[in-house]
Structure 1
Amino acid sequence: MKEKISKKALREAGSSYLLLSPTLFVLLLFIIGPILFAVYLAFHKVELLGITSFEFVGFSNFEKILEDTRAKIALWNTVKYVIIVVPCQTLLALVLAATLNAGLKGEKFFRIVYFLPTLTSSAVLTLIFMWMYNQNGLINNVLKLFGFPTYNWLGDPDVALNAIMIMNIWSTAPFFMVIYLAALQDIPDSLYEAAELDGANTLQKFWYVTVPYLKPVTSFVVIMGLIGTFQLFDQSYIFSKGSGGPNNSTLTVVLLIYQYAFKNLGTMGYAAALAFALAIIILVATLLQRKFSKEESLY
């Protein structure tokens, strides 16, 4: 009886893995394989042009990160970007979702309008904002109209990264708004009715009922925001034409990885080490956020 069961179990397992084999092959070829190869490159000095060579250098690529001034600048720019953009886009998404869930007139129209930036290509949005940020562009013309000083949004190192932040907050918040909106519609009306009986006003109901109920969703939104912001590349690349300027003010870690991997000779291994270090930073940031969110849910 046991032999029949084991043979049947083996046959079923074999059939399952056979059906899964196309997916497993794709995962191995395009996800797991490149990750393992990148880790391999991180410990080698790689020369891909001319005669391809791989020279094992141990941890020297990682040691070089600590001495690389541009890597420190890129990391600081990225961390500053994450610290500002993630809370702002999360708060804006929550406010927009709560507003749309309040049953105001024209709710469906505003849902479409708010969600439009998410449907637009990131590169196209960046080009539109570059036109708006131009010295003779829309934003400066509006500032002039109201008597405010104008800015060199694209050429001033003190302003360039902030300009990218504003664009990303505006373009990413609608995506998270939809997630919040779906969660808001699952909150039982009885909770709000109970709060009203206790004398809670609209703001108190939002703070003491809506926000606590949405904590799991907020945790997800923050984690997705952390991963996305740490990987900032295309906007910074287009804004600075690949240089990370002006004066390295828009240089991010991913843009620096691109520069070392494809613009400098013999630094592919170092670029892989930077990518590996960035992956560790994102993992640690995500785990810390999950830990804090769990601790908050206990109280």
Structure 2
Amino acid sequence: MKRQFSKKVREASQGYFFMSPTIFVLSLFIIGPIIYAIFLAFHKVQLLGNVSYEFVGFHNFMNIFDDQRARIALWNTFKYVIIVVPTQTFLALVLAATLNAGLKAQNFFRIVYFLPTLTSSAVLTLIFMWMYNQNGLINHILKFFHLPTYNWIGDPKVALTAIMIMNTWSTAPFFMVIYLAALQDIPKSLYEAAELDGANAIQKFFKITVPNLRPVTSFVVIMGIIGTFQLFDQSYIFSGGSGGPNNSTLTVVLLIYQYAFKSLGTMGYAAALSLLLAIVILIATIIQRKLSKEESMY
């Protein structure tokens, strides 16, 4: 008995020894910062000069409800998530189903569609800013079709929409590849049986393809929710870090950056916003998982 116990202890210690580099890195760069951020959220912090921490309890969290810019950032972020996640999921599914239908030169189109995902987010944003210019490519195309043009970057009514269009175009190909891999696992016999029953392409898509892809769709939606809630770099580049015009591109993560690094004495408040954002993402993810499980029961 003692020999078996000592053997298990020795095996466990060897396992933890080999895992120790990973545990150290995770603790140093992930677990440690999370704990420190939670600590900061309950303090008024002074990090310049004489570093000081003053415990303020839930005061930082209560200030969020009185902060008009925080409400605007939350609304912009929610609006962005609600529009972009379904759009990019649907577009990725349609692209994947189209490429999986046996088109000629489909490998070429797969590479072309996937190129935006390989390009740096900052580079893509700068390219789209050039295209969104009042004399840019997009307005020229709109003029050609006699459609109204827009000041995509300077108009508060369309600035966030411009970011939505750009990010949907650049992120849908990544999820397209995930759908393509999942489509390979759907048995061909299901489609052959449907053809014998006289089903057309649309019926096969909604009766066979979509139901069999529900687990993958749930994963794509969850990943999309997590990614869209963390919108920062495009909004920062578009607005020069201000969230303008008129706070129309201000997101929660950009606001956290402003309070953490652009204002003095508000690091604790920025940490409270970060913690709130993490809770919102967690709740949204749990709801999506619960809904996807309920759908799979039918």
Shorter-chain TM-score tier: over 0.9
Q: Give RMSD over aligned pairs.
A: 0.6
User: Please, which moves more after superposition, 124-133 or 147-156?
Assistant: 147-156
| Structure 1 position 147, deviation (Å) | 2.0
The alpha-carbon deviation at position 145 of structure 1 amounts to 2.2
Alignment of 1:16-35 (within 5 A): 16-35=15-34
Count of aligned positions: 298
Q: CA deviation at 1:208?
A: 0.2
- Give distance in 1, aligned partners of 2:91 and 2:147: 25
| Aligned residue in 1 for 2:279 | 280
Structure 1 residue 81 corresponds to structure 2 residue 80: yes
Q: Distance in 2 between matches of 1:146 and 1:20?
A: 61
CA distance in 1, matches of 2:22, 2:148: 57
Answer with 93-102 or 137-146: which moved more.
137-146
* 1:128-277 alignment, distance < 5 Å: 128-277=127-276
How far is the alpha carbon of 1:149 from its aligned partner? 1.9
The alpha carbon displacement at 1:292 in A equals: 0.4
Residues 193-202 or 129-138, more deviating: 193-202
Gaps of 5+ in 1: none
Looking at structure 2, the residues matched to 143 and 283 of structure 1 have their Cα atoms a distance apart, in angstroms, of 40
2:43 matches 1:44: yes
In the alignment, the residues of structure 2 paired with residue 242 and residue 26 of structure 1 have an alpha-carbon distance, to the nearest angstrom, of: 31
Residue type matched to 1:38 in 2?
A: A
1:131-185 C-alpha deviation (Å, 9 max, x unpaired): 0000111111122222222110000000000000000000000000000000001
The one-letter amino acid of 2:160's match is L
State how far apart, in whole Å, the 2-side matches of 1:106 and 1:20 are.
45
Give the equivalent residue in structure 2 for 1:4: 3
Give the aligned residue type for 1:267. T
CA distance in 1, matches of 2:272, 2:173: 34
In structure 1, what residue type is equivalent to 2:61? F
Q: Secondary structure at the match of 2:45?
A: strand
* Structure 2 Cα separation of the partners of residues 19 and 139 of structure 1: 54
**Counterparts of 2:107 and 2:23 in 1: how far apart (Å)?**
42
TM-score (norm 2): 0.99
Supply the distance in 1 between the matched residues of 2:148 and 2:23 (Cα, whole angstroms).
58
What SS does the aligned partner of 1:46 have?
A: strand
SS at match of 2:8: helix
Q: Share of identical aligned residues, percent?
A: 78
Aligned-partner Cα distance in 2 for 1:255–1:62: 18
Match of 1:58 in 2: 57
SS class of match (1:243): coil
1:55 is paired with a residue of what secondary structure?
strand
Give the whole-Å Cα distance in 1 for the aligned partners of 2:283 and 2:145. Answer: 45
Q: Output the CA distance in 1 between the equivalents of 2:165 and 2:11.
A: 54
TM-superposed CA distance for 1:86, in Å, is 0.1
Give the Cα separation in 1 of the matches to 2:20 and 2:162: 46
Q: Note if 1:112 corresponds to 2:114.
A: no
Q: Distance between the aligned counterparts of 2:6 and 2:226, measured in 1?
A: 45
- Secondary structure of the residue aligned to 1:54 is strand
